[in-house]
Amino acid sequence: MKPCLSVVIVARNEAARLPSLLADLAGAADGLHELVVVDGSSRDGTPVLARLAGARVIQGQGGRGGQLAAGVAATEGTWLLLLHADTRLPTGWRAPVKRAMAEGERRAWAFRLGIEGGGAGLRLVEALVGLRSRWRQLPYGDQGLLIARSWLAAAGGIQPIPLMEDLDLVLRLRRRGPVQLLPARLVVSARRWRHRGVIGTALANMRLRRAWRRGESPERLAARYLSGTEPQQAQGEYQKAQRRCRGSSSQPWAS
């Protein structure tokens, strides 16, 4: 069977950021089998914008883990690219993804992390994440994940938990085979670092990971994580992003 790629994006109140990611994907629509946006009860028009861009929208509950699990179940591609809605794909992202898919199914891939904006603190975070991802093979969900459906199933799939679903999955994948980095950088929103500061965000993440390893419930951890980080609403972003990207908004991902 010829490999085909399904893209799953998890989103909640991402009207300000999702359109740019959808525009990135529209530039390579001929290489995609399908695109599904899994919405987590957004109140800012996120599902409408996703449909305008030609994505299929479904509703998912239980935080990111539940959304990702629902998205995977709703798609049929032999390969999956799992993304968060507040990220941007690099120009020419399709080529390294195709090369990775050609190397075989018994491994997983993530992008290198970039964080929008300037500042030495954010560059330090990028460098440390790069070291962790390369040497410990521990990329997190905001770096995206490229994986064959069969390999994901062999690892036990995505647990429908509201937080730490990425770490839970990567730890299981790492026990089965390599988790490698693509030679391309995925850029994520810097809003959490701006909200709490670089040091404050790093400490908060460390505490969450430590609490998870000690057995604290993902539901309680998710409540702590989301506290004070709701994104702002925005309108008209899809049209602006689409004008910056070649291609049409008329169902480019229909299989």
**Count of beta carbons in the 10 Å neighbourhood of residue 214:** 7
In a domain, 218, yes or no: no
Residue 198 lies in a domain: no
* Other Cβ atoms within 10 Å of 247 Cβ, number: 16
End-to-end CA distance of the chain: 16
Residue 207 included in any domain: no
Does residue 199 come out as left (phi exceeding 0), alpha (psi in the -120 to 50 range) or beta? alpha
Domain count, the chain: 1
pLDDT at 220: 81
pLDDT of 213 reads 82
Token pair 């709490």: residue: 196
> Is 209 inside a domain boundary?
no
Q: Is there a domain that residue 199 lies in? A: no
CATH of the domain at 20: 3.90.550.10
- Which residue segment(s) compose the domain that 112 sits in? 5-191
pLDDT at 155: 97
Q: How far apart are CA 61 and CA 41, in angstroms?
A: 8
pLDDT of residue 222: 77
Q: What is the chain's length? A: 255
Neighbours of 117 (CB within 10 A): 12
* pLDDT tens by residue, the chain, 255 residues: 678 999 999 999 999 999 999 999 987 766 788 999 999 989 999 999 999 999 999 998 878 899 999 999 999 999 999 999 999 999 999 999 999 999 999 999 999 999 998 889 999 999 999 999 999 999 999 999 999 999 999 999 999 988 889 999 999 999 999 999 999 999 999 888 887 788 888 887 888 888 878 888 877 877 777 664 433 333 344 344 444 433 333 334 333
Q: Do the domain assignments include residue 231? A: no
* 96 found inside a domain: yes
- Name the residue type at position 224: R
pLDDT of residue 1: 61
Q: Which residues contact 123 (CB under 8 A, 6 or more apart)?
A: none
- β-strand pairing of 56-59 with 179-188: unpaired
- Predicted local confidence at residue 63, as pLDDT: 86
